[in-house]
Structure 1
Amino acid sequence: MTDTLTMGQRLADLHATLTPAEQANLKLILGLSAGQLVPDKAPTSEQSRRAVSEALEILCPYDVADPRGLQYRGRPDFLTDELLASFIAEKDEVGKTAVPFDEHYLGCGGTVADRVAVSPELAALVASVVPKAEATGIASYLFYRDAGQGIIPHIDTDIFSLNVLMMLEHEIPDGVEEPSALYMHYPDGTEERLQLSPGEVVIFLAGTQAHSRTPIAEGERVTILTFGFMPEGAPLENYRR
């Protein structure tokens, strides 16, 4: 019977036999592997990329028709002009103390963002596209300020296994023909480029879907607000800081 299983199914079966700590380590290894395999376009990497992607999708904790790509894209009704202006004002304040983190600057929450992170309006939006997802209460402002900053292909940690990503600001200097963008990377090696406008929101299963942001150019600026969600009933210690 085992011989008929794919490598992705075998990895998922292995996950079921492990302790919670070991499961977390395996998920980390799979996530790192996905990030490394995405940019490798060699034919020899295709089988490995598909196996890792299949295992992650089998382990997806959410009941959705397709864990790949976006589950939602648009501007939700609760995101009024006034609320968007509040986020923009808050990101300016948070940005003063944002700290370098990987290839961007990180600012943790703020009064407005933290309130919305646990609001019924945001919960209802998420529930309408991904049932049984629960807010972690974690909101983060991400700032891309320095030329070359971006995020390489990766899988998010469990605290953002479901990511609600809101574009707040994208300053594009004259002469930049292809601005920085969010990318979804698929098991077959194809990619989807997503150029988001300020106020636009996307929801995707960041814990299973490989994604990245291409580097910003000189003079370009990108500011994003993200909200983390976890599976309903998951052990909080696994998802909260």
Structure 2
Amino acid sequence: MLDHLIAHDDNLRMVPTDRNELTTAIGRLHEELRALPEGSDPSRARILTRWIGIGEMCLGHHDEARAHLQQALDLAAAIGSTRAVVTTGINLADAHRYAGDVQTAGALYRSALSTARGRYPELLDFALQHTGKHLMERGDLADAQSHLLEALRLRIAKGNTELVGSTQAALDRVGLLISQADAAATDPAAPSRQWTAWLQSRTTTRTPDRWAEDFPALQDAVRLLTAQQRVHPRHLRDQSIRTELIGVMAKEAEQAIAVNGYLHNGKWNAVVGDAANRFAEHIDLATIVARSTGLDVEQPHNAVYIAYLEEGQFLDFHVDTIGFGEANLILCLKHEHPTGQSKVSTTVFITADGYLECALATGDCVVFDGALTPHGRTPLSAGESVTLISFGFRARDRTLRTVTNLPPAPA
């Protein structure tokens, strides 16, 4: 009904071939649905409602998609069409998956797969295909490959070349992800490099005006990445840290950067010295992190000075390697800018809900999980400079130090 207006993107998710045409087509289905006479056969209403839901899902209208597909599923159950319950249940599972509700999606896929195996073998390849893609996105690559291989055998037996091609494309995608995972296993820094490259190919801290436009294409992938966050980004103010301690570190940072500073990812870095070590001894930073995030951490095991000193200097979106720690705390040592300047450089994060900017003043902190939260800094304006210190913390619970099923970066 809408097949000709739907394609698949590089991540094998359904997308419109033309948003305007698909929107218009969905409008026509709504008109037909409203025009159905009272007491008419509910089968037509079920079909229309199902395709409206599929169309809304392709447009990224998650709430509308789930509402219509749930209605279609209820209609299928009411008229006793178990076969339609299976197909619509898979569509509804897709809608929940696209919206990031992987738990509900998984339950719906399992139910549809079980019913197809027991009662509708002609639908089994459909259920296996969509379950396989769900498992692929969850990072369960071996199970995904197993489901898709079974679907491929069934589709080859059916002789439908289009379906065979669709499953082969999914298997190729899984094979690529397995190769990336194997490479990451021998190179701990590989996942962070892959995610950083993917992020920087699609958005940048340099042009915040683009963010609203960029975000829809990032949302699903970022949601998968941040699902295992140990710490959500949090801007901390009024921590009652003595200003003289901050001032001493700011002077040490300035000297260290001038003498031994090195450029890294577009910012100045320097090794911390005695002032930072004394600060960490006097201030219970672990308690600050635990109190603000709920994660029980040890005292910081590493630290680095960071400085942005020139107009236009910025730090593009990236993720850190897992080894830096389960929690990061950045403390602003100095942020200078002309009085009355309306726009200042900010620390920025990409979350599952959008971009989060934190304008750090002297003494402000921000805590986050650097390995699982894309982050960076927007460009400095004229006359602006920023000096920071970044601390890394390890969780006391060692089981929290391991990230399982970390999704590979999209190809």
> Normalising to structure 2: TM-score of the pair?
0.48
Q: 1:213 aligns with which of 341, 353, 377?
A: 377
Show the counterpart of 2:201. 36
Residue by residue over 1:166-188, the C-alpha shift from the partner in whole angstroms, topping out at 9 and shown as x without a partner, is 11111113574311111222345
Show the counterpart of 1:52. 221
Q: 1:127 aligns with which of 290, 296, 301?
A: 290
Question: Which of the two has higher C-alpha Rg?
Answer: 2
Alpha-carbon distance, 1:95 to partner: 2.5
Letter in 1 for 2:330: L
Once residues 120 and 166 of structure 1 are traced to their aligned partners in structure 2, the CA distance between those partners, rounded to angstroms, is 12
Alpha-carbon distance, 1:125 to partner: 1.5
Q: Decide whether aligned partners of structure 1 residues 91 and 22 sit closer, same or farther in structure 2, where only a CA change above 3 A counts.
A: closer
Alpha-carbon distance, 1:44 to partner: 8.9
CA contact (8 A) 1:105 1:143 kept: yes
Q: Decide whether aligned partners of structure 1 residues 130 and 143 sit closer, same or farther in structure 2, where only a CA change above 3 A counts.
A: same
Residue range with higher mean Cα deviation, 199-208 or 87-96: 87-96
Once residues 135 and 283 of structure 2 are traced to their aligned partners in structure 1, the CA distance between those partners, rounded to angstroms, is 37
Q: How does 1:1-241 map to 2 (within 5 A)?
A: 3-4=130-131, 10-14=137-141, 20-21=185-186, 24-39=189-204, 46-47=216-217, 49-60=218-229, 62=230, 67=232, 69-70=233-234, 72-77=235-240, 79-97=241-259, 98-117=261-280, 121-128=284-291, 129-135=293-299, 137-158=301-322, 159-173=324-338, 176-188=341-353, 190-232=354-396, 233=398, 234=401
Uncovered stretches (5+) of structure 2, i.e. residues with no partner: 1-109, 111-127, 142-176, 205-209, 403-411
CA contact (8 A) 1:104 1:143 kept: yes
Identity of aligned residues (%): 22
Residue by residue over 1:128-169, the C-alpha shift from the partner in whole angstroms, topping out at 9 and shown as x without a partner, is 224243445211111111221110122222215421011111
Once residues 360 and 215 of structure 2 are traced to their aligned partners in structure 1, the CA distance between those partners, rounded to angstroms, is 30
Show the counterpart of 1:238. none
Once residues 275 and 338 of structure 2 are traced to their aligned partners in structure 1, the CA distance between those partners, rounded to angstroms, is 29
Structure with more of its chain in strand, by fraction: 1
CA contact (8 A) 1:163 1:204 kept: yes
SS at 1:88's partner residue? helix
CA contact (8 A) 1:165 1:224 kept: yes
SS at 2:284's partner residue? helix
Alpha-carbon distance, 1:202 to partner: 1.4
Structure with more of its chain in helix, by fraction: 2
Show the counterpart of 1:239. none
Q: Decide whether aligned partners of structure 1 residues 213 and 83 sit closer, same or farther in structure 2, where only a CA change above 3 A counts.
A: same
Once residues 120 and 9 of structure 1 are traced to their aligned partners in structure 2, the CA distance between those partners, rounded to angstroms, is 44
Show the counterpart of 2:409. none
CA contact (8 A) 2:318 2:376 kept: yes
Residue by residue over 1:176-212, the C-alpha shift from the partner in whole angstroms, topping out at 9 and shown as x without a partner, is 4311111222345x32222111011111112212222
Once residues 83 and 102 of structure 1 are traced to their aligned partners in structure 2, the CA distance between those partners, rounded to angstroms, is 28
Letter in 2 for 1:55: L
Letter in 1 for 2:315: I
Alpha-carbon distance, 1:56 to partner: 1.7
Once residues 325 and 267 of structure 2 are traced to their aligned partners in structure 1, the CA distance between those partners, rounded to angstroms, is 17
Q: Provide the aligned length of Structure 1 versus Structure 2.
A: 226
CA contact (8 A) 2:315 2:377 kept: yes
CA contact (8 A) 2:269 2:304 kept: yes
CA contact (8 A) 1:74 1:201 kept: yes
CA-based RMSD of the aligned residues comes to 3.3
CA contact (8 A) 2:343 2:381 kept: no
Residue by residue over 1:91-149, the C-alpha shift from the partner in whole angstroms, topping out at 9 and shown as x without a partner, is 23222221222211111111121344476711121222242434452111111112211
